[in-house]
Structure 1
Amino acid sequence: MDWYPLRLTTPVMTHAFGGTAIADRLGRPSEVPGPVAETWEVSDVDGAVGEVLDGPLAGRTLRDLAEEFPVELMGPGRQGARFPVLTKFIDASGPLPVHLHADDETAHRLESEPNGKTEAWHVVDAPPGATALAGTLPGVDAEALRRALLNEDYDSVLRRLPVRPGETLYVPGGTIHSFGPDTLVYEIEQTSDVQQSAACWRQEDGALLDEGIWQDNLDLVIAEWEPWHRPDFQPGLAVRPSADVERTFCAAGPHFALERWTAASGAVARHEFRSAVVFTNVGGPIEVRSGGWTDVLGPGRTLLLPAALGAVEFTGPADVLLGYKPDLDAEVRAPLVAAGHSPDVIATLGDV
C-alpha cells in the first residue's frame, strides 16, 4: 500500500445551538443549507463513520482501514475495532445544553459501551466576556445538583470560567459542562457518542422534552457525574522547532494529544510522527507535503495522516492543529522536558 494523506467525509450536525461561524470565521464553505452546529472532521462513531473521498482508497471507511491496517494507519502496537480519536468543529452560536459524557468505567457499567468520552476544547474564536461551565463547585452534593438542574439554576452549582481564543480545556469523562453562546471550538475526544443531557430540550431541534424523559435524563446525569473534576483553561506549552515556527502543546492525556503549530510566511515546518495525525487547518490555504503527496489544504479543512507516512511538511503562513493518540513519554513529555518545562507544568495539559 502506498499511503497518502486521507480526505474524509465530514458528517454535519444541525443541532439547535448552531450557526454560521464555521463558514464565516474559518472561511470553509458550508456543506448544507442553514445553521451548522458541528462538523465531525475525523469520525469512527457508529452511524457517522468517515469515508475516504479520493485516491486509491476512495470509498473505504475509516472503520475498514482501522481493522485491516491497524499498524500502518494508527501506528505500532495499535489495534482495535475503531479509530481511537474523534475531532470536531463546534459552532456554539447558542449555548450548548448542560451535559456530561461518562468516563470509561461508567460507560462500561451503565451504558454497555466500549469506552467513555474524555475530551478537550480548543477555543478557535470567542468574544470578550465569553464563558463556559465546567465541573461543580466544591461542596455540591447530588441532591443540590439535581435541584439546581431542575430549576436551571446552573450558576449555583457549576463553575463558570472565562473563555479566551487560543486556550484549551481538558474535560475528563464525568465532568458536567457547557459553552456558548458565540463560541467556536475545535474538539478532540475519545471515539464515542455517549452523552447525558440535563437540559429540558432536545439539542437536535430545541423541542421541549416530556417531563418523564427529562427526569430520567437527570437521574443518569447524577449517576454518571464525577464531583471532583474541576478543570481550568490553559494557554498551552510552547516548543520552538525554529525561530519562525512555534509548536504549542494544548492538551494531552492517554486518549489524545492536541498541538497547535504556527509558521511565519515562507517558513517550512516539518513534523515527524509515529501515530496517525489529524491535521486541521485553522488559517488560510496552505501547501502540505507528505509521503510524496503534495496539495493545498483549504481553510477549515482536515487531513488524516496515516502513521505509515511518518512525516509532514507545510509552508507558512500557516496555523494548524495536530491531534493524535500519543505515546505520552516519547511524544509529549520528552519534547516538553527538552524545552525546559517541569513535570508539574506539563501536568497542567490534562492527564500527563
Structure 2
Amino acid sequence: MYPLKFGPIYKEKIWGGRALEEKFSKQLPKGSIGESWELAAHENGTSIISNGNLAGMSLMEAIKQEGEKILGTEAKEDYYKKFPLLIKILDANDKLSVQVHPDDEYAFEHENGELGKTEMWYVIDAQEDAKLVYGVKPEVDKEEFVSSIKEGRLEENLIEVNVEAGDVIYIPTGMVHTTHKGILIAEIQQNSDTTYRVYDWNRMGKDGKPRELHIEAALDVIKFGTKPEEKVVGLEIKEEGYVRTILVACPYFTTETLDIAEKYSSDTNHERFYVLMGLEGKAKLSYEGGEMELKAGETLLLPATLGEYELVGECKLIKSYIRDLAEFKAELKELGYSQEEIKQIKGL
C-alpha cells in the first residue's frame, strides 16, 4: 500500500468565491466555488484515486478490493459500508446560512439512514474582523427562537465570535452556527451532507427563488439552553523537530495539527488509516517503497498497512484519524498529562 491522492470535488455555492485558486493554486471550474471535497465517499460526491495502481478507482471501490489494508484492524464493520469521514475546504466568500446538523439517531430516522454531522472547523485564513456565529444564547428557549425568526430579529439571539487564522471550532450536533464572509476553513466531519437551514439572510438562489429552509427539523435538533463550546486550545506536545497539538477527540474523529520544523516520523501500525491535509508549506513524505510531496491544499490518505513514514520539511498540516477514546485518554494519563491538560482537547 501507498499514500492515496484524490481529485478534489468542487461545489459551486451562492456564498462561494475563488480563494482556493488564490491560496492553493487549485484549478477551479468557473463560478463561485464554496467547497472542495478533498476526501469523500458520499452519494453527493465520491473521491477518485489519482495515483498509483489504484488510480481511477473510487475510495469505496478501493476499500472493497483492499479492505483491512486500507481501513486497518481497528476499523468498525460499518466503515466497509460507509466511509466514516468527509474532509472539505470551505471558501466562505459570503455568509453561509444559519444552520444546524442532526445527530446519528435523528438523521437515521428522518434522512434515509444518513449519518449525523459532528464537525470541526480549522480557520486557514480570515479577513480582518472576520466573525462566526457559534451557538444560541443560553437564555433563549425554543419559543423565543421561533418568534425571533418570524420577526426578523434572529441575529440578536445568536452568539458571534471573532476568528483569525489558526482558530479551531468544535461543532457538535445541535449547535447552531454559520460563518460571515471572508473565511477559508478546513472542515473535518462525519460522512454526512445533511444541513438544516434556519435563516438565509433573505437571499435568492440561482433560480431566483429563496433557498429552502428546514426550520421544523432544525427546531427538533437544536440543543437550547446549553453553553456553547469555547474555541479549541488543544493539548500541545513539543518534540524534537515538530510540535503536535491534539485538538479534538470525539467518537467520530480525532484531529491534531503538526507544526513540522524539520521532520516528523510515525507508523500506521496496521491499526487504522490516517488523513493528512497540508495547511502551510510543503514536506517530502517518505515510506517503504517510495516518496512524494505534500503541499498546502493537498490531502492524502495513509492506508493502515503503509507502516513507518517520515515527513521532512517545514510545514503545517492537520492529521485526522479515529480511535478508541478510553484508550487514548489512558495513554495521555500514562504520559503524565493532568486531567486539566487533557480537558483542553474538545470532545474527549
What is the TM-score with the length of structure 1 in the denominator? 0.89
Deviation at 1:334, TM superposition (A): 5.0
Whole-angstrom CA distance in 2 between matches of 1:179 and 1:312: 36
Deviation at 1:340, TM superposition (A): 4.3
Is 1:19 equivalent to 2:20 in the alignment?
no
Whole-angstrom CA distance in 2 between matches of 1:335 and 1:20: 43
Whole-angstrom CA distance in 2 between matches of 1:199 and 1:324: 33
Is 1:333 equivalent to 2:329 in the alignment?
yes
Q: Determine what percentage of the aligned residue pairs are the same residue.
A: 26
For 2:16, what is the secondary structure of its paired residue?
A: coil
Tell me which of 20, 25, 28 is aligned to 2:25. Answer: 28
Determine the structure 2 residue equivalent to 1:99.
99
Determine the structure 2 residue equivalent to 1:209.
210
Whole-angstrom CA distance in 2 between matches of 1:116 and 1:169: 18
The 1:338/1:272 distance shift into structure 2, 3 A limit, reads farther
Is 1:120 equivalent to 2:116 in the alignment?
no
Deviation at 1:229, TM superposition (A): 5.8
- Amino acid in the other structure paired with 1:270: S
The 1:269/1:328 distance shift into structure 2, 3 A limit, reads same
Alignment of 1:188-207 (within 5 A): 188-200=188-200, 205=206, 207=208
Alignment of 1:311-322 (within 5 A): 311-322=308-319
Unaligned runs of 5+ in 1: none
Determine the structure 2 residue equivalent to 1:143.
143
Whole-angstrom CA distance in 1 between matches of 2:151 and 2:95: 17
The 1:85/1:311 distance shift into structure 2, 3 A limit, reads farther
Deviation at 1:9, TM superposition (A): 2.0
Deviation at 1:114, TM superposition (A): 3.9
Determine the structure 1 residue equivalent to 2:272.
275
Whole-angstrom CA distance in 1 between matches of 2:11 and 2:45: 10
User: Is the 1:125–1:183 Cα contact (8 Å) retained in structure 2?
Assistant: yes
Determine the structure 2 residue equivalent to 1:347.
343
The 1:57/1:206 distance shift into structure 2, 3 A limit, reads same
Deviation at 1:55, TM superposition (A): 1.2
For 1:322, what is the secondary structure of its paired residue?
A: strand
The 1:16/1:219 distance shift into structure 2, 3 A limit, reads same
Deviation at 1:75, TM superposition (A): 1.7
Alignment of 1:139-288 (within 5 A): 139-200=139-200, 205=206, 207-209=208-210, 214=213, 217-227=214-224, 228=226, 230-242=228-240, 244-264=241-261, 267-273=262-268, 274-288=271-285
Q: CA RMSD in A?
A: 2.2
Determine the structure 1 residue equivalent to 2:34.
37
User: Is the 1:121–1:188 Cα contact (8 Å) retained in structure 2?
Assistant: yes
User: Is the 2:232–2:346 Cα contact (8 Å) retained in structure 1?
Assistant: no
The count of corresponding residues between Structure 1 and Structure 2 is: 341
Greater strand fraction, Structure 1 or Structure 2: 2
User: Is the 2:282–2:313 Cα contact (8 Å) retained in structure 1?
Assistant: no
Deviation at 1:53, TM superposition (A): 1.0
Unaligned runs of 5+ in 2: none
- Amino acid in the other structure paired with 1:351: G
User: Is the 2:233–2:345 Cα contact (8 Å) retained in structure 1?
Assistant: no
Deviation at 1:152, TM superposition (A): 4.4
Whole-angstrom CA distance in 2 between matches of 1:350 and 1:199: 28
The 1:77/1:299 distance shift into structure 2, 3 A limit, reads closer
Whole-angstrom CA distance in 2 between matches of 1:292 and 1:202: 53
- Amino acid in the other structure paired with 1:316: G
- Amino acid in the other structure paired with 1:347: K
User: Is the 1:135–1:158 Cα contact (8 Å) retained in structure 2?
Assistant: yes
User: Is the 1:7–1:52 Cα contact (8 Å) retained in structure 2?
Assistant: yes
The 1:152/1:23 distance shift into structure 2, 3 A limit, reads farther
User: Is the 2:246–2:256 Cα contact (8 Å) retained in structure 1?
Assistant: yes
User: Is the 1:28–1:299 Cα contact (8 Å) retained in structure 2?
Assistant: no
Which string of whole-angstrom CA distances, capped at 9 and with x for unpartnered residues, describes residues 98-128 of structure 1?
0111011211232232420100101111234
Whole-angstrom CA distance in 2 between matches of 1:342 and 1:22: 40
- Amino acid in the other structure paired with 2:266: H
Determine the structure 1 residue equivalent to 2:304.
307
User: Is the 1:99–1:198 Cα contact (8 Å) retained in structure 2?
Assistant: yes
